[in-house]
Amino acid sequence: MDNPDARRHLPAGKQIRLSRIFGAVNRRALVVPLDHSVTIGPLGRAGHADQTAAILERAGADALIVHKGRARTITPTRFGSMSLIVHLSAGTNLAVDETRKVLVGSVEECLALGADAVSVHVNVGSPGESRQLADLGLVAAACDRLGVPLLAMMYARGGADTAPTSVATLAHLGAIATDLGADIVKLDYAGSPHQMDEVVETCPLPILVAGGPATATDDDAIGFGMRVAESKVAGLSFGRLIFGADHPHAVATALAERLHRDSDPSRPLAAALELA
For the CA atoms of 93, 69, 22, 165, the dihedral, rounded to the nearest 10 degrees, stands at 10
CA angle at residue 173 from 171 to 179, to 5 degrees?
Answer: 100
Q: Based on DSSP, count helices (H) and strands (E) in the chain, helices before strands.
A: 12, 10
> Beta strand pairing status for 29-33 and 235-237?
parallel
Residue 232 annotated as catalytic = no
Residue 71's φ and ψ, nearest 5 degrees, are -60, -30
Q: Of 14, 68, 155, 232, which residue is the catalytic one?
A: 155
Helix residue ranges, H only, 117-206: 129-146, 167-179, 193-202
Residue 68 annotated as catalytic = no
* Residue type present at position 78: R
Q: How far apart are CA 76 and CA 68, in angstroms?
A: 13
Q: Of 14, 68, 186, 232, which residue is the catalytic one?
A: 186
Could you list the active site residues?
155, 186
